[in-house]
Amino acid sequence: MSVNWLERPDEFVAQEPAALAAGIRLRRRDPRVAWGTWMVFGLLGAHRFYLRAGRGALVVPLTALALAALAVARPRLRARAVGALLALWVLEGALLTKLIAADRDRAEREALRQIEAQRDSEWRIEPDANE
């Protein structure tokens, strides 16, 4: 339900916190799903794709692929490559908290932007058709 800002400004302002909370809930990715995708598909970067962390979403699987290829190609380095894969997986888990916080901030910015756009559109005075 939309409230006309010009007719009832107090009611419109009272609706903004609820609209903001609802907007954030709709845009925010579920942290439990992010943790689950990291646990199962962490070396493929699935958690980064889910959280829309574009830059690192391709770096993680390419690094994991290079380390896996090293483990296969050089048997003497296999233990080190597997250790590096494990370290990459743990590092991604440590960074996941920051990725989730960044997703929450992005969702809040988008929700605020939508509320501001709605407020601006209701403030806009349309020209009279008779003129």
User: Is there a domain that residue 130 lies in?
Assistant: no
Domain total for the chain?
A: 1
**Chain segment 8-33, per-residue pLDDT in tens:** 545 555 566 666 677 777 778 899 99
User: Is there a domain that residue 1 lies in?
Assistant: no
User: Is there a domain that residue 56 lies in?
Assistant: yes
Do residues 81 and 127 lie in contact, with contact meaning Cβ atoms separated by under 8 Å?
A: no
User: Is there a domain that residue 128 lies in?
Assistant: no
CA distance 26 to 17: 14
User: Is there a domain that residue 18 lies in?
Assistant: yes
Using the Cα atoms of residue 108, residue 113, residue 114 and residue 119 in order, give the sign of their dihedral. positive
Q: Using 50, 70 and 90 to split pLDDT, how confident is the model at 1?
A: very low
User: Is there a domain that residue 131 lies in?
Assistant: no
User: Is there a domain that residue 26 lies in?
Assistant: yes
Do residues 47 and 39 lie in contact, with contact meaning Cβ atoms separated by under 8 Å?
A: no
**Chain segment 60-96, per-residue pLDDT in tens:** 999 999 999 999 999 899 999 999 999 999 999 999 9
pLDDT at 3 over 50: no
DSSP label at residue 124 = P
User: Is there a domain that residue 4 lies in?
Assistant: no
Find where tokens 């233990």 sit: 79
pTM over 0.85: no
Q: Using 50, 70 and 90 to split pLDDT, how confident is the model at 56?
A: confident
CA distance 62 to 78: 17
Domain coverage including residue 86: 9-123
